[in-house]
Amino acid sequence: MPTYNSMNYIVLDLEWNQSPRGKEGENPKIPFEIVEIGAIKLNEHREIIDSFSRLIKPVVYKELHHIIKELTGFTMTELNQGDDFKTAANDFIRWCGEDYKFCTWGSLDITELFRNMKYHHIKLPAPPVFYYDLQKVFNIVYENGDRTTRSLEYAVDYLKIETDDNFHRAYYDALYTAYVFQKLELDIIHKYYSIDYFQVPKTKDDEINLVFDTYSKYVSMAFNNKSDAMKDKEVTSTICYKCGRKAKKKIRWFSDNSKVYYSLSSCPEHGLIEGKIKMRKISGERYFIIKILSLTDEKGAAQLKDRQLEIRAKRRRKRQAGK
C-alpha cells in the first residue's frame, strides 16, 4: 500500500509508435515503441514544481503508423533528432527523484514504460509498483463508477479547464492531466490507487491482496496454464472482504470465453458477493490472474445466473450442431 508523506507526484504521459504494417511487422517484445516522454512534477500540496519533455529516436519502428502521425503530428525528421531511449529514460528516472508516485490517465503508460525499459535493458523499479490512474478516479467521482471510459479531453472540458486544444503530445497531455489531478479530491485518489501488472508476483509470498471500500483485489503469481490456475485454492477462494469470513458459493466459477470467470457467493453477515477472475497471459501458455470480489444484490445475482444459463445454452447448441 502506498505512503504519502512528503511525496512528489509525477504525472506521466507517453506517445508511442507501432508497426505500420500491423501484426506482420510487429516485434512482440515491444509492440509499442515510446517516441515521447512528457511529465509534470507536483509536490505534496499538488503545486507544479517542474516538468520533463523529451523526444526519442525510434530504432524498432522507423516508419510512423498513419494513425500516430495523424494524432500527434510527428514527422520522422523530427523524431530522428531525438535522444536514444536509454538516455531519455535514465534522465527521466533521475529527474523523478527518490520519493514519488506516478499519476497517469489510464493504465497503459506505466506498463509500456516498463516494457520499453526492459527491452533496452534498463533496471526496473522493484515490484509491486503502485500508481494513481486518474481516469479511473474521475470515473468513480463524476460517472458514479460507470464503466464508460472517458477521454482526457472529456475530463478537461467537464472540469472547465482552459486549453489550447493541443492534445496528443506527451508534455501537454501530462500538463492537462496534472490540472485534472489538482481538481480531484486527494483522499479519493489515495483510496483508489492502482497496481501495475507488468511485473507479476514471482512466488506465493509475493502475491498481492488488497482491500478497498467497495471491493477486494488479488493478484497471483504465474501458473503454467489456465487449468493450473483454476486448481489453486487461493485463486478460487471467495473471502468476504468486509469481515474476512469464507463466503459460501451459490454459483461456482464459470467462464464465457476462458479469459474471464465469474462466481456468486454468500456471506452470512454481508450478503451476496460477485467474483470475477481475469486471466492474463504473460509468455507461452503461462498466465497470472486478477481476482475482484465485490458486493452485489439480487438483481446482480439474477444477471449472473442468466449469463451462466446463456453460456450453457450456447455450448449445448454448439455440441448439437457438431453431431
185-197 tens-digit pLDDT: 999 999 999 999 9
Stated pTM of the model: 0.87
Q: In 3D, which of 39, 5, 37, 35 has the Cα closest to residue 17?
A: 35
CATH class of 8-195: alpha beta
Return residue ranges of the chain for CATH 3.30.420.10: 8-195
- State the number of CA atoms in the 13 A half-sphere of 224 facing the CB: 2
Asked whether residue 166 carries a pLDDT value surpassing 90, the answer given is: no
Segment 226-237, tens digit of pLDDT: 999 999 999 999
CB atoms within 10 A of CB 296: 18
Average pLDDT for 75-95:
97
Which residue did the predictor score with more confidence, 167 or 191? 191
Q: In what side-by-side order are the strands of the sheet with 8-17?
A: 48-55, 33-42, 8-17, 100-104, 130-133, 194-195
Residue 240 binned pLDDT confidence (cut-offs 50, 70, 90): very high
Average pLDDT for 134-158:
89
Judged by DSSP in three states, 53 sits in strand
Q: In what side-by-side order are the strands of the sheet with 271-283?
A: 208-211, 216-219, 286-295, 271-283, 260-267, 248-255
Instruction: Kindly compute the dihedral angle of the four CA atoms of residues 225, 212, 129, 46, in this order, to the nearest 10 degrees.
Output: 150
> Which position has the grid cell 483485489?
217
Query: What is the model's pLDDT at position 297?
Result: 96
